[in-house]
Structure formats: C-alpha cells, structure tokens
Amino acid sequence: MNLKIIDIERDKDFPEETITRLREAKSCVVLTGAGVSAESGVPTFRDALTGTWSNFNVEEFATPEAFRKNPKKVWEWYEYRRNLLKDINPNEGHYAIAELEKIYSDFWLVTQNIDGLHHKAGNKNVLEIHGNICRNKCFEENTIVDNISVGEEIPPRCPDCGSYVRPDVVWFHEPLPKYEMEKAIEVSSQCDIFIVAGTSAIVYPAAELPIIAKNAGAYVMEINIEETLISTQIDMTILGKTGIVLPKLTELIMAKEWK
Ligand code: BV8
C-alpha cells in the first residue's frame, strides 16, 4: 500500500521529490473539489442541506427526479446557494492555482465546483465538469436561459418552450458535459504533474481523473485536511488547508534556492 503522507503543520518541509517534480514539470493539471472553496465560506454541498432542506439526502435532491417531483423546492435550494455566493470571494488557495497557470506553459484546471470562484481568481483554462450555479438552462431543451426577471413564477419558465428553467449544473445520474469531460480525460492522461485539491474523491467520474493521470505516468499529489479514498493510490498526500499549502507550493516552485 503506497501511502506517503506529510502533515504541513507537523513536518514544516515538503518532500524533496515533490518539489523537484513540481519544478521540473512542463505540464500540470489541477482537480479541485468543494474543499478549495470552503475557506471562502462556501458550504460543501452536503453542508448546504441545512434549514428546510436538512431532511434531504443530497444524492436524491441534486437529481432531475427531485426537480420533476418538486421543482419549486429544488429551485429555491439553488437560489439560496446562489445568494450565499453574492458576498463570497476567492481565497489564497484559488489565487495560488491562478499563479500555477502562469508558471506552467501547459496548464489545465478541472473543477467540480460550480461557484465560479476560479474564474474570479484569474484562471483561464478551466473545465467546469459539474457546471456553474450562476447559469440557468431550459429543463427540456438544455439551452441556456439568460435573462430571468425576478417575480416570475418559481421556477421561471423557458421563453421558448414554456418548460421549467433549472440551474446549469450536473445532477446525480446526469452525464457530465461532453467537451469538458473529454478534455479533462485527455489532459489528465498527458500531464507531468496532477494535483488534487480539496476533494473527497467520492464523486465519479471526476474521481477517476487522478487514477487516469497516475496510470499514464504523472506524479499525482493531493492536498486535503484528511486522507481520501485515493490516498493509497497516488504518490503524495499533503495534509493541510489548500489556502495554506498551495501558496507555499507556488512560492517554493518559483524560489531560486529552496533547500
Ligand atoms: C454520472 C453539482 C452517468 C450539483 C455535483 C462510477 C462511475 C460513474 C458514476 C458513478 C460511479 N459510482 C457512482 C456513480 C454515480 C454518481 C456518484 O458519483 N455518486 C457518488 C455519491 C458515489 N455520479 C453521477 O451521478 C455523475 N453522473 O455518472 O452519469 C451517466 C452517463 C451517461 C448518461 C447518463 C448518466 C454526476 C456527478 C455530479 C454530481 N453533481 N455537483 C450541486 O453541486 O448541486 S457533485 C458535488 O459533489 C460537488 O460537485 C462536489 O465537488 C462533489 C463532492 O461533494 P462535497 O463533499 O461537497 O465536496 P468534496 O467531495 O469535494 O469534499 C470536500 C473535501 O474537501 C473533503 O475531502 C474535505 O476533507 C476537504 N476539505 C474541506 N476543507 C478543506 C479541504 N481540503 C483542503 N483544505 C480545506 N480548507
């Protein structure tokens, strides 16, 4: 069982091999989960099931079936989460990932997060494989619906076909967006370094990407506050908050002498 793990609080230093790999790499892919946004105050979507939604199971609620059954309740849950995002900004972890895009000439960011904070932090090559909560689409036609006037029926209706409008996010039992997922698989199978940041690696097929990278020969490392389901299958786990570890890593990669 290959379990290499360091705790940034205890060990203070990163393993030499990790820094050498990061400094020598030409191409880098980062996969983020809700843990990266946690330090900005965005509740992970399990934590977002509070109040009137607390008695819902996320795998049942974030689904097309739940929307068909109770469109108003599901729409209101997303409106509640969208409102939470209004006063939320990227944190040091987001900005460090934007820095990585400047360091590596071949860089891709694959995110499970739907909050748009990576774009706000300055990343350009972003693959939002679970969609974006700030966008809406027609439930039947899957076409983006832009201007929704407040005070309309809840959920609002598609101006073209009259079906309900829904958030443009990927629900459970729904396929991931074709271009984003194919590109994510392509870049994961060609990169030198694959960094998994702030995800439990529970949700598929996103959780397959680090394994695809590892099997293709990449150096795969994760940053999390706890071990995850992939910790034994990758090269290195750094225990620590992404908002603390990622800025340290980018500093070390750019430092002339680091030992
Ligand atoms: C699909 C948008 C098929 C909605 C989300 C095997 C293969 C394929 C599918 C499956 C499979 N096994 C099971 C499935 C089905 C299912 C699945 O994965 N189920 C899970 C529960 C087992 N997958 C699907 O249904 C996917 N679709 O496969 O379709 C198909 C194909 C063709 C035709 C039809 C169908 C769709 C999955 C997408 C679901 N949508 N989000 C919304 O947000 O409302 S997933 C959602 O969960 C978020 O994107 C989030 O990223 C993810 C995980 O939830 P969280 O717990 O919130 O976040 P995360 O896991 O990232 O955990 C937080 C981590 O951060 C923790 O590890 C924590 O320790 C760490 N952390 C916290 N703070 C910090 C930190 N780390 C560092 N620093 C910190 N400060």
Q: How far is the CA of 254 from the centre of ligand 1 (A)?
A: 32
63: left (phi over 0), alpha (psi -120 to 50) or beta: beta
Q: What is the pLDDT of residues 160-195, one digit of tens each?
A: 999 999 999 999 999 999 999 999 999 999 999 999
Verify whether ligand 1 is closer than 6 Å to residue 178 (CB atom): no
Structure confidence at residue 150 as a pLDDT band (50, 70, 90)? low
Query: With 50 as the cut, is the pLDDT of residue 88 above it?
Result: yes
Residue nearest to atom 45 of ligand 1 (CA): 203
Per-residue pLDDT, 3: 59
Q: How far is the CA of 257 from the centre of ligand 1 (A)?
A: 39
Active site residue 173: no
Q: What is the pLDDT of residues 93-124, one digit of tens each?
A: 999 999 999 999 999 999 999 999 999 999 99
Per-residue pLDDT, 257: 60
Mean pLDDT of the chain: 92
Verify whether ligand 1 is closer than 6 Å to residue 34 (CB atom): yes
Query: With 90 as the cut, is the pLDDT of residue 251 above it?
Result: yes
Per-residue pLDDT, 151: 72
Structure confidence at residue 157 as a pLDDT band (50, 70, 90)? very high
Structure confidence at residue 1 as a pLDDT band (50, 70, 90)? very low
For the entire predicted model, the pTM comes to 0.95
Helices (H) and strands (E) in the chain, counts: 11, 9
SS3 245: helix
Of 223, 257, 219, 222, the closest CA to residue 241 belongs to: 223
Of 238, 236, 240, 234, the closest CA to residue 207 belongs to: 234
The per-residue DSSP string of 130-158 comes to TEEEEEEEETTT--B-----TTSSSS-B-
Q: What is the pLDDT of residues 24-55, one digit of tens each?
A: 999 999 999 999 999 999 987 777 777 767 77
C-beta separation of 76 from 154 below 8 A: yes
Whole-angstrom Cα Rg for the chain = 19
Burial class (CB in 10 A: 0-12, 13-18, 19+), 71: middle
C-beta separation of 155 from 131 below 8 A: no
